[in-house]
Structures are given as C-alpha cells and as structure tokens.
Copies of this chain bind each other. A is one copy, B any other.
C-alpha cells in the first residue's frame, strides 16, 4: 500500500492530539494509503526529539524548512501558533506537499488570502490543503449536517451558537501568547469563535452575510507566568458577541468567551427550521437533540436524544458498538481519515483553505463591526467566493 509520510510541526496540545490521530487512524479504518509518522518538528531540537519519542514519531528536527525538502514527507501538518501558519503553509504547498493547517487559518485576512491563493495554485498540480475545523467530524455534528442537508429541518430560521470556556474568569490567571494580538490574531473570537462560525456555515451549507458585534476585554493586564510581579498587556478580545444574518435569511446569534465560569468546553449550537430543529452541546458530545415535526403524531413530539454511536452514523464504522461513546480526540482521527482518503482519491478535502478564509473574513467583519459602534458589517466576498 502506498505510504504517506507526515511531518507534524508543533508538539504541544494540538500536536499531541494530532499524534494520537495519526497513530490510530490506520488501525480503525480501511485506508487507501498508509500514513507514516515520519518526522516531528519543534522549536528546539531537544524538545522535539523528546516529544517525537513520547508521541511516536520516527524522526525529529528543529528546522521546519528541512522537512519540506524530504522525499519521504507528503503531508505537512501545522499545529503551531497562528502567526506562523501562512509562511509554513504557503512554503509547503509550493514545495508540493499536502497541508493540514490548524484553525484559525491565520491571524489576518491577508495571510489567509495568501494561503488560499497558494492552495488554489497548488491544487492544479496535486497538493491538497485542509483547514482543521475538526468539530465538523464529531459524529453527532456530521449527522446534524446530513439531516439538515436532507431537508429534515425545512427552511432555516435561526442559529444560536456559543463557545464557552472559563480559564480566564479568574483575574489572576497568567498572561500568555494567546492574549497577544500579534501572536494569536484574535482572542476568544479567533480561538474558539472561529469554530462556531465554521460549524454554523457548514451545518447550514450557507454563508454569513453580515454581522453586528461587540467585543470586550475584561482584564487589561495579567501577571506574567514566569515573573508574576510583572504584567503583560492583553491586546485581544476576552469575549465576542454578535448577531448575524445568513445569505439564506436565517437570523443568528454567536458568543465566544473564556469567562463563562463553570463552562469548560461548551461548544453549543442550535438550529431551528420550519419543520424541525437540532441542538448540540459538546459537553455531551455523543448526543444530538433532534425535533422533527414530520414524524411526530399523537402528541409525541419532542426533542429526541440521538446517541450518535450507531453503526450507520458518520465515522462510526471504525469504532465500538452502540452506546460506547467517543471522546474529544476521535474527531481528529476522522479528520486524518478524510485527508488521507482525499489525497488518495485526488479529491479536495473539506474544509479547504477557501473555507478557512471565509471564516477569517467573518472574524474580520466582527472586529470591524465592533470597532464601528456595532454597525452591521457585510462579510467581504471578493469575486464569487
């Protein structure tokens, strides 16, 4: 079987999760090609070597450019902070490598455009690019997409989406690169808001037309983790709230925050249509709530709690019997499967960089609206994108 060498760049949280996916995917799915954990790239040689052993990679290096030149590397998997995505991704695509890039795609629209351009050019002669909006591949959400696509909800009227975490609600929580605009691009909006933006557009198969937004930075300075007597300036949003209109007419609300005390990773989305609704909360990630006006008779209408663990549900063929739930990392294994399959089949993996760019443009519109008294701000759509 054909092998696909993977080079993973980054080995902290995301690198560890991607590693678990690459270690697992070939053992639970019948793949058309065999992904190899060829090389792990880190900022420091020793750290990378240590991580490679721990995470199960054959080789390691501190020189990301070197891996672009390796013949045994086919896929560049980018798990670095956002400010390095564009440089690495563009170079990788130009070097003829397939690219999987963590979200948000970039720190600015301009960067994301350069990445989408590079992907468009590369596609012509082979390499594929994929953006890491992994929640699409949680089975319950993939099922939701199916049901909406089949028209089970009718015409969509409402989306209400929130991504709630709480790790900054304590004002003495330390400063980090995630709180710096130049490193992270945006705050909660980019880090977690990007997920619900992408997810909602994916579920509806529709695009956000425009937004009206407010952002907030509740705590302006935070202690440095290594020198707690000094503080760093927070230059990103702590929270973002916005209303939006979809091109198809749906009215939507969004909220992303790291100040929702007690909510650890509550990605929530509800969609209401003329003949049905669905609701999801990542805190119960194996469940989809579904309300169907068509099937209910005799006073038995109600949101049904679907356990998305049946053999016929998306991605479930590789896993366990009904009721034996999956965890957070499984969606990354599904992502790896879909990327390998797309590469082997020569089809475009989804979401591509165009879709990642589209999310970036929504983020930019949110920031523009927030900076302009929340005025309704259309999402930029140059050309026919």
Chain A residues with a Cβ under 8 A of chain B: 13, 17, 19-20, 23-24, 27-28, 54-56, 143, 147, 150, 153, 157-158, 160, 162, 165-167, 169-171, 212-214, 216, 218, 239, 241-243, 245, 249, 251-253, 255, 257, 259-266, 270, 272-277, 282-285, 288, 290-293, 295-310, 312-313, 320-330, 369, 373-376
Chain B residues contacting A274 (CB-CB under 8 Å) are: 169-171, 261
Q: Are B253 and A255 in contact (CB under 8 A)?
A: yes
Q: Are A241 and B239 in contact (CB under 8 A)?
A: no
Please tell me which one of the listed residues B56, B162, B252, B264 contacts residue A241 in the complex, with CB atoms under 8 A apart.
B252
Q: Are A306 and B299 in contact (CB under 8 A)?
A: yes
Chain B residues contacting A284 (CB-CB under 8 Å) are: 284
Q: Are A157 and B259 in contact (CB under 8 A)?
A: yes
Q: How far is the CB of A374 from chain B (nearest CB, A)?
A: 3
C-alpha gap A266/B279 in the complex (Å) = 14
C-alpha gap A249/B220 in the complex (Å) = 14
Q: Are A312 and B283 in contact (CB under 8 A)?
A: no
Q: Across the two chains, which residue of chain B brings its CB closest to A252?
A: B241
Q: Are A266 and B323 in contact (CB under 8 A)?
A: yes
Q: Are B243 and A299 in contact (CB under 8 A)?
A: no
Chain B residues contacting A252 (CB-CB under 8 Å) are: 241
Given the known inter-chain contacts A158-B260, A169-B157, A262-B301, please indicate yes or no for A216 contacting B277, CB distance below 8 A. no
Q: Can you list 16 A-B contacts with CB-CB less than 8 angstroms, sorted by A residue number?
A: A13-B320, A13-B321, A143-B299, A157-B257, A157-B261, A158-B255, A167-B322, A261-B273, A262-B302, A263-B277, A265-B323, A295-B297, A299-B308, A301-B304, A301-B306, A374-B375
